A = this chain, B = another copy of it.
């Protein structure tokens, strides 16, 4: 049984990873009422020290006993770890917020973006899934449009940063960039092809239908989050040589006609969205500007040249923050409110 407290014990699973580290900073920055904090990882990270609230915390090994006395467990250590340990955490009385794809499409598992579908959380907080980064920023922008105009179809092409593939991918982009600038040959370890000064239309594995798993996540998760399985989505997911933040070119078709200025007003007054849309002054969302920020940035809102019910826009967000760590902490905040209510 949940007990209201002043502070709550938190475990971060995968604390040494790119997302795990940002979970720690986000807990701190959002002033989450953290009591005891466990930074959990695999055996090889034991003893590593991670910064938290001016001091450091030591990384401990993840075991089946790691969740005793923990109130919220935030997972970001890959699907197989989540598959195994999230149920153990829940058994121990935790709310388990999972950033992997392990549980997202399970029927009874809520898949939550707090600005979009908080009510899908329900009252029982067991495992709660955090959507994929490319989905989160898109649905934050789509939600107000869907509510007002009813979305029928979305055609999206992504420009995704390498940090979505983890710290080694960041190092690979750095090293390849240096080597190419120096006229040296490059090494490929993380990506199947050169990522520096190149674009790869390939994120995650290919499915039988010719789409990648990343693309299918955008389809399935968007429908689940917006609670409408009739929305058509045609995605193309592309990795670009950018370190942080994903950009997306979105074409959205609605049932009702849209006026650009009304959509701009709607977006700028919607939670989590920052409208950056003054192209004459070269102001539009940019990956490098979104980096380190929690918001979803939307710009280049313009109507299709022919159809009054079709709109194009450009949406950018930090894939490690709103696309992962901040959304997870926001879910914890939402769950906390529900449990305290």
Contacts and interface: CB of A to CB of B under 8 A. Distances in A.
Interface residues of A, number: 56
A202 B279 contact: yes
Contacts of A314: 201, 236
Contacts of A211: 302, 305
A144 to B, nearest CB: 19
Contacts of A219: 305
A238 interface: yes
Copies in the complex: 2
Nearest to A299: B201
A256 interface: no
A115 interface: no
Contacts of A79: none
Contacts of A67: none
Nearest to A287: B198
Interface in A282-312: 282, 284-288, 299-307, 310, 312
Interface of A: 155, 157, 159, 173-174, 177-178, 181, 192-194, 197-202, 206, 209-212, 219, 232-234, 236, 238, 240-243, 247, 249, 251, 260, 279-280, 282, 284-288, 299-307, 310, 312, 314
